[in-house]
């Protein structure tokens, strides 16, 4: 490194430090630590070990004693890590409060396992390409997304900040599916393919709902003053929403048993058992061959 480069680096360092004063709204040098994205990721993986034992855990178990020992080890680890991360999020609250919150969340695991079983069954029955339930549990991004969401949703319901959104972003990065932890989603939920699905904070989704890739269940308005209002649609039971559909608005209700076709735009409520699809488009296809022969255009 030349003397000139050393001087330039020294100046760059000074400029960065000076910016800490002028651009101070994104600094955090004092106060409690923040949750660690690495630890939050590890917490979710530990949680998945308990939801899907034998699928996410390296090494088998052969008898009831080993099962109990494995569960005890995983639960203890999850409790300690979750308590520590919750503590970083709470203002002026004791560690005992964080422990109680962590225990309350862990207590929900048997219920969340029942929901996970329903989600696996929905994926297996809803996808003709699924060869086995094992395949669903090991490889389906939609199942990973809803499993993570159900965990994040319980933490959100406990009024613990930050951690639910971090879990949300983990599933977003891993699957391309973006589900706000505030969204309420019923049993037997299936996202097929999944990439590009967006489900907003105040969405309410019933049971036995199936969604394909690229679906948005979003808000009509992004005004900050509406943050505490219901901004996202309600999807009732037994609804199927095909790829690319966009459904917007807190007053929008999609009735039970409806089928929403691909690439439609919906901002009004629909009665039960509606079928919505686009009219046939007037396609114009250019088919001139490279040698100049053939028709210029034809329509279908």
Beta bridge mates, 205:
185, 235
Q: What is the mean pLDDT of residues 77-89?
A: 94
User: Taking 60 as the threshold, does the pLDDT of residue 298 lie above it?
Assistant: no
Q: Span 113-127, mean pLDDT?
A: 97
Query: If you average pLDDT over residues 143-150, what whole number do you get?
Result: 97
pLDDT band at 246 (very low <50, low <70, confident <90, very high): very high
Contact 279, 264 (CB under 8 A): no
Residue in the structure block whose two tokens are 């086995």: 132
Q: Residue 59: its pLDDT value, please?
A: 58
**Does the structure show a pLDDT above 70 at 162?**
yes
Cβ neighbours for 79, distance < 8 A, ≥ 6 positions apart? 99, 102, 103, 106
Q: What is the mean pLDDT of residues 255-279?
A: 95
CA 146 to CA 167: how far, in whole Å?
A: 11
Q: Give the mean pLDDT of the chain.
A: 89
Tell whether the model's pLDDT for residue 285 goes beyond 90: no
The predicted model gives 219-243 an average pLDDT of 89
Which domains does the chain show, CATH number per domain?
Answer: 30-178 (1.10.3130.10), 183-277 (2.160.10.10)
Strands laid side by side in the 275-276 sheet: 190-191, 210-211, 240-241, 259-260, 275-276
Q: Per-residue confidence at 58, pLDDT binned at 50, 70, 90?
A: low
* 41-65 mean pLDDT: 81
pLDDT digits (tens, 9 = 90+) for 103-116: 999 999 999 999 99
What's the confidence (pLDDT) of residue 260? 97
Q: What is the mean pLDDT of residues 174-199?
A: 97
Specify the pLDDT at position 95.
Answer: 64
Q: Binning pLDDT at 50, 70 and 90, where does residue 229 land?
A: confident
Residue 60 has pLDDT above 70, yes or no: no
Please give the angle made by the CA atoms of 47, 51 and 53, to the nearest 5 degrees.
105
Average pLDDT over residues 175-202: 97
Does the structure show a pLDDT above 60 at 291? no
Q: 232 and 215 in contact (C-beta within 8 Å)?
A: no
Query: Does residue 296 surpass a pLDDT of 90?
Result: no
Which position has the higher pLDDT, 211 or 28? 211
**Bridge partners (DSSP) listed for residue 276:** 260
With cut-offs at 50, 70 and 90, classify the pLDDT of residue 27.
confident
pLDDT for position 150: 98
Q: Which residue has the tokens 């309410």?
A: 204
Q: Tell me the C-alpha to C-alpha distance, in Å, between residue 267 and each of 190, 243, 250.
A: 23, 17, 9
Q: What percent of the chain has pLDDT over 90?
A: 74
HSE toward the beta carbon, residue 137, CA cutoff 13 A: 18
Hey, what are 219's tokens? 């808000």
Characterize the bridge pairing of strands 297-299 and 284-286: antiparallel
Which of 53-62, 159-168, 228-237 has the lowest average pLDDT?
A: 53-62
pTM over 0.85: yes
* Predicted confidence (pLDDT) at residue 258 exceeds the cutoff of 80: yes
């Amino acid at each position: 490194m030349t003397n000139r480069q050393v001087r330039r680096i020294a100046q760059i360092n000074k400029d960065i430090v000076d910016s800490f004063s002028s651009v101070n709204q994104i600094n955090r040098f004092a106060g409690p630590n923040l949750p660690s994205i690495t630890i939050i990721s590890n917490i979710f993986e530990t949680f998945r070990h308990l939801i899907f034992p034998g699928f996410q855990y390296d090494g088998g178990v052969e008898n009831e004693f080993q099962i109990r020992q494995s569960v005890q080890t995983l639960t203890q680890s999850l409790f300690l890590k979750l308590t520590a991360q919750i503590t970083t999020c709470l203002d002026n609250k004791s560690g005992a409060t964080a422990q109680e919150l962590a225990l309350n969340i862990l207590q929900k695991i048997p219920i969340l396992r029942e929901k996970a079983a329903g989600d696996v069954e929905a994926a297996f029955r809803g996808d003709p390409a699924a060869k086995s339930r094992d395949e669903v549990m090991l490889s389906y991004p939609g199942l990973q997304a809803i499993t993570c969401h159900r965990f994040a949703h319980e933490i959100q319901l406990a009024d613990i900040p930050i951690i639910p959104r971090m879990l949300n972003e983990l599933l977003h990065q891993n699957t391309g599916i973006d589900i706000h932890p505030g969204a309420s989603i019923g049993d037997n939920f299936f996202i097929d393919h999944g990439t590009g699905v967006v489900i907003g904070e105040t969405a309410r989704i019933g049971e036995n709902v199936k969604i394909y890739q690229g679906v948005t269940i979003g808000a009509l308005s992004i005004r900050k003053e509406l943050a505490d209002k219901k901004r996202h649609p309600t999807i009732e039971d037994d609804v199927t929403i095909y790829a690319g559909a966009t459904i917007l608005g807190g007053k929008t209700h999609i009735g039970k048993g409806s089928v929403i076709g691909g690439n439609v735009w919906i901002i009004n409520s629909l009665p039960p058992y509606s079928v919505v699809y686009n009219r046939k488009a007037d396609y114009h296809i250019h088919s001139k061959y490279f040698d100049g022969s053939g028709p210029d255009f034809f329509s279908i």
